[in-house]
Amino acid sequence: MKPIFKRILFFVILIGFWSLGSALEWWSEIIFPSPLSVWQSFVSGIEDKTLIYGLIASFRRLAIGLSISLLLGTSIGILIAKSKTADDTIGSILLALQSVPSIVWLPLAIMWFGLNEKAVIFIVILGGTFVMALNIRTGIKNVPPLYIKAARTMGAGGIDLFRRVIFPASIPHVVTGSRLAWAFAWRALMAGELLSTGPGLGYTLRYASDFGDMSLVICVMIIIGVIGAIVDQLIFQRIEKNVAKRWGL
């Protein structure tokens, strides 16, 4: 059986079991709504555009935050790959910063920027920057010395060598870094929105929770998961695979 059929069958069984459990009242509709109510929440959310506005607002923040974090992360990565002093100083705290979930910065962010969009974007930026920086550093440090030697014999040096050889050679790590930065930023965004202010998917989730609308809660959770999986598998993993093939990895 093809993997795609196995997958479809799996979801059919999963949703079937869920419907069955709801129909036979193995659990209460209030604490765990049936697939049908979740679907109805989804349809009405699309019809009254709450979900659409939420999605657009979230993606706007994500786009701003992720772009800044990719740029910032790349700059820091290049700096610590190229300067020993920077690596010994900034480099040493990066791993520690990376281990701190960026959402724990929210209280500070709210103090600094107020309870608004800026605070959430700040959290998103922190979510993506460090992992990007670490990957860029690894990428640059692992450029095969032979490429650099060959380029030097062909008259390349300085900025030219960096632009034409070192950076392109580290593209596989740039892609991995971006994929991880996206994943961290997406999680940070949802957490940030959940705890701060709307509109946004995360905010819709909290709003639904405040009103005890568990079917909308589940609906938003599924949307968050599906978007995450689509971006990761259909976009990043595909690029990663192509790059790995061309780069001969």
Partner 1 sequence: MFLTINDLNKQFIDQNDITNTVLQDINLNVEQGEFISILGPSGCGKSTLLSIVAGLTSATSGQINVDGHSISKPGKDRGVVFQEPALFPWLTVKENVIFPLKKEMSKSEAITHAKKYLKMVQLTNYLDHYPHELSGGMQQRVAIARALAMDPTLLLMDEPFGALDEQTRSRLHTQLESIWRDTKKTILFVTHSITESIKLSDRIIVMGTQPGVILTDIKVDIPRPREDHKQEMIEIEEHVMQYLKKEIDKVVSGEL
CA distance 33 to 63: 33
The pair phi, psi for residue 160, each rounded to 5°, is -60, -45
In this complex, which beta carbon is closest to partner 1, that of residue 143 or of residue 189?
A: 143
In this complex, which beta carbon is closest to partner 1, that of residue 237 or of residue 242?
A: 242
Token couple for 119: 């605070």
**Closest approach of Cβ 174 to partner 1, in Å?**
11
Residues composing the chain: 249
In this complex, which beta carbon is closest to partner 1, that of residue 149 or of residue 238?
A: 149
CA distance 211 to 196: 17
**Closest approach of Cβ 74 to partner 1, in Å?**
17
**Closest approach of Cβ 170 to partner 1, in Å?**
10
Distances (CA, A) of 148 to 144, 157, 164, 221: 7, 9, 10, 47
Whether 188 contacts 127, CB under 8 Å: yes
**Closest approach of Cβ 164 to partner 1, in Å?**
7
Residue 19 one-letter amino acid: S
In this complex, which beta carbon is closest to partner 1, that of residue 4 or of residue 146?
A: 146
Token couple for 145: 């010395």
Whether 130 contacts 97, CB under 8 Å: yes
**Closest approach of Cβ 167 to partner 1, in Å?**
10
Instruction: Find where tokens 């030097």 sit.
Output: 152
Write out the H or E segment, with its range, that includes residue 160: helix 158-161
List contacts with partner 1 (CB under 8 A).
146-147, 149-156, 164-165, 168-169, 171, 245-248
**Closest approach of Cβ 203 to partner 1, in Å?**
42
In this complex, which beta carbon is closest to partner 1, that of residue 147 or of residue 162?
A: 147
In this complex, which beta carbon is closest to partner 1, that of residue 8 or of residue 154?
A: 154
Token couple for 71: 């740029």
